[in-house]
Structure 1
Amino acid sequence: MTQNGFWLGAVLATQDARAAKLRRQLRAARREAAAARRAARTERSPYELGWLILGLATGVFALLGSVAVLRGGR
């Protein structure tokens, strides 16, 4: 009985170690997937950046134009 208990304990310890390893791997994979999602969300294409710059420049010129009109210019 003692020998059977030893083998049962060894098998359970091995299974527990395997399960812990799989949990660590799963956690690491989830972290990597979350990091990839964050990176994909924050990445901008060159076209998006171009439109952003164009929009900001348009806003700045509109603001300057309205200030000039308010000050009595044309």
Structure 2
Amino acid sequence: MEFLVLLPPLFSSFTGIKYLLLPIFIQKGDAAIDATCGNVYDTLAMVKIVADESTRVCVFAMDIQTDTLENTSLL
């Protein structure tokens, strides 16, 4: 993992890279799927990307753990 030392701080974690790559795959107005909603951070990031005031959008979030589903439903 020596290559991570050369990258700027934003790239020093795989999470940072993931959030930079999301807009390549999903865009405003798209429907998106978060197959492991977990702590909802990825789901919210997707909502912020696809949210469009002119049309309705969908981000489907699912998980097999009931605790994470309860946390998601609180949003």
TM-score range, shorter chain: under 0.3
Taking structure 2 as the reference length, the TM-score comes to 0.21
Higher strand fraction (1 or 2): 2
Higher helix fraction (1 or 2): 1
Of structures 1 and 2, the larger Rg is shown by: 1
Taking structure 1 as the reference length, the TM-score comes to 0.21
